[in-house]
Amino acid sequence: MRFLGVLVVMACAATGLLHGADTAIRCGKLLDVRSGELKSGLTVVSHDGTIRDVMSSSPAGIAVIDFSAYTCLPGLIDVHDHLTSDPTDSGYSSLGVSIPRQTVKGVKNARITLLAGFTTVRNVGADGFSDVALRDGINAGDVIGPRLLVSGPALGITGGHCDNNLLAPEFHYTAPSVADGPWAARTKVREVIKFGADLIKICASGGVLSKGDSPGAPQYSLEEMQAIVTEAHKLGRKVAAHAHGTQSIKDAIRAGVDSIEHSSLIDDEGIALAKQHHTYLVFDTYNHEFIMQHGIEVGMLPESIEKESHVGPMQYENFQHAYKLGAPMAFGTDGGVYPHGENARQFALMTKLGMKPIDAIRAATMNAAELLGWADRVGALEPGHFADLIAVDGDPLSNVSTLEHVRAVVKNGELVK
């Protein structure tokens, strides 16, 4: 049956039936992420890239993609990625990577990420609007990649995590996205939106991979973040806040941001605020494992390895605590710190830390879709949604690691893997 399915797909591709026409995707099992049920014998029917129906039989006369040997799920979503950078762009090595070179890396990494089963990605931070160029290239069909929502360069304070602190004082360098004070920050929001940003990324606290700051130290003030959020929301953009620190997390939530990235040192008050304001927490737990094992070899600063050795274990504990207390959680990995395409390795770690497999999958489907503002178009295999689908062996509810080995990927009703 598996061989027959391949022949059917090859025939459809050869005749062009998978491009812009009706397509039927026959699934052995289909995971309904809302109910958490695995359903048998369903076919996803799409028209011009959008799901028209999910039914128990395949309509006659249209192309069939035969996944009857596999389990079908919605295309996965990563809400925290950096497609235009690689792990080797760490520390002082980053100074030698031009913006055009970053864009080329983005083309490579977008393809890798899509073929790994992530059909939608939120890119939160890229120099020189390289992610805007990448998004536009994907949308135009020039390059292969996931659907992208992009932030352009991340906003931060002078000398903060989103500034570049690697150069000596005589270079007099400040990152173009730095904005100090409420009105300067409002202006910078307007500027990045002018040049194509879909959302705003800010640095509320210090970071791990930056030089000379502490992950737990507040950077943007409450007043500055309130100005940023007011301006962004007025212009129809959501705000993602890089925030490791306890106080910065709470200030960012009170300011009205839509998601907290990293969330490492969150406390009970911060979790309660996230629940009250329905602010999504994004824990990039896979990073710790990669940084501690490979950070030195890819050129990360020794001080960054030291910072991660303290922050990472606390992030693990707080992930467990936030999950137990029912905080809103979305799947984000900080791709680019680790090699792109390994995004799904985080699922096994999330379940190891106590999250149920269905909740880990929901974090990367329906929860992530809600955070993006795309709950009506991605994150579920339902009529009206984009026909974005992956196929895996076995039952991901009993072995979530199967998501690391995606057998097939469909985007817009078109077979891309």
Averages of pLDDT over runs of 10 residues in the chain (417 residues) are 41 42 93 97 95 89 92 98 97 95 98 98 98 98 98 98 95 96 98 98 97 97 98 98 98 98 98 98 96 96 97 98 98 98 98 98 98 98 98 96 98 95
What pLDDT was estimated at residue 60?
A: 82
- Kindly list the structural domains of the chain, giving each domain's residue range(s) and its CATH number in brackets, ordered by start: 2-75+380-415 (2.30.40.10), 76-372 (3.20.20.140)
pTM score of the predicted model: 0.94
Residue 67 carries which side chain, given as an amino acid letter?
F
Q: For position 136, what pLDDT does the model report?
A: 98
pLDDT of residue 8: 45
Q: What pLDDT shows up at residue 15?
A: 36
